[in-house]
Amino acid sequence: MALLEIKDLHVALNDGTEIVRGIDLIVRPGEVHAIMGPNGSGKSTLAYALMGHPSYEISGGDVLLDGESLLPLGADERAQKGLFLAFQYPYAVPGVTVSSFLRSAMNALRKARAGGTDDPIPIPEFRKDLTAAMEHLKVPRELLGRYLNDGFSGGEKKRIEILQMALLRPQIAVLDETDSGLDIDALKTIAGGISDLVGPEMGAIVITHYQRILNYIHPDFVHVFAAGRFVAEGDAELAKKLESEGYDAYLPEGIPGDG
């Protein structure tokens, strides 16, 4: 039973500028936490910092998964422990096909789970899992043979992110602006895919600017994030209120938000 605990977390850029200024959050399996906030509030910084991006420094606090601090771990080890980040802007890796990448990533996690000995997924099993997940998420087969995110449309990239999540089966998923750049049909499919994965096996943090995606992924908790802190917390109703009233009420003076 996985439990993510974020304790008084502070995150700074390498030049010392503090972007996340003390947040606390507990995510349990089956829970969906929405983190909403205006552009530039530091939401993506939080996502990157949780995953261990080298451009950000943890200037205070801790992040624990099942009681163990993630901070000393590299991104690969965090992934092996069951953390997943769906990137807002996934990177392209020319020359590496989606399918060979997926298999490598699955094998890396299997190896970690097997205590460091190789435990490659049998090809038929891989194919079966892959086909099922792709059908579910309506990922066109031709994407498998293309280079990872290379020349993909925004929607294709997002689908591939969620496909990775479905196959890697994380315990905690952080979804960074997964709704941006999607049309309504794509949004429904992807949000449906995410909702299906949330359960006893997985908790999720959905980072978003708009309430739209929360129509399809029901959040148990909504946290309003502005200027590096949670400034309000509530349930799904709060998200709806934000949608109609904007963020202005939650912004400390002098900090612009574009509502």
Judged by beta carbon, residue 148 or residue 214, the one nearer another protein is 148
Residue from the set 168, 231, 236, 255 that interacts with another protein by CB under 8 A: 168
Q: Look up residue 145 and give its two tokens.
A: 């043979």
User: What whole-number distance in Å separates Cα of residue 38 and Cα of residue 143?
Assistant: 33
Burial group, residue 35, by CB count within 10 angstroms (0-12, 13-18, 19+): buried
Q: How far, in Å, are 86, 95, 227, 242 from residue 214 at the CA level?
A: 16, 36, 22, 12
Judged by beta carbon, residue 67 or residue 94, the one nearer another protein is 94
Establish if 74 lies at the interface with another protein (CB under 8 A): yes
Establish if 164 lies at the interface with another protein (CB under 8 A): yes
Judged by beta carbon, residue 93 or residue 132, the one nearer another protein is 93
Residue from the set 14, 16, 54, 115 that interacts with another protein by CB under 8 A: 54
Q: How many residues bind another protein (CB under 8 A)?
A: 31
Return the residue matching tokens 């399809």: 216
Binding region for another protein (CB under 8 A) out of 4-12, 79-87, 119-127, 236-244: 79-87
User: How crowded is residue 104: how many other Cβ atoms within 10 Å of its Cβ?
Assistant: 11
Strand 172-176, strand 203-208: pairing: parallel
Establish if 147 lies at the interface with another protein (CB under 8 A): yes
Nearest to 27 by CA among 237, 223, 227, 224: 223
Establish if 99 lies at the interface with another protein (CB under 8 A): no
Q: Look up residue 19 and give its two tokens.
A: 């972007």
Residue from the set 27, 65, 109, 191 that interacts with another protein by CB under 8 A: 109
Establish if 114 lies at the interface with another protein (CB under 8 A): no
Binding region for another protein (CB under 8 A) out of 70-78, 192-200, 203-211, 249-257: 70-78
Phi-psi region of 149 (alpha: psi -120 to 50; beta: other; left: phi over 0): left
Residues 228, 21 contacting (CB under 8 angstroms):
yes
Residue from the set 16, 67, 95, 124 that interacts with another protein by CB under 8 A: 95
| Residues that bind another protein in the complex, under the rule CB under 8 A | 51-55, 74-76, 78-80, 84-85, 87, 90-96, 101, 104-105, 108-109, 112, 147-148, 164, 168
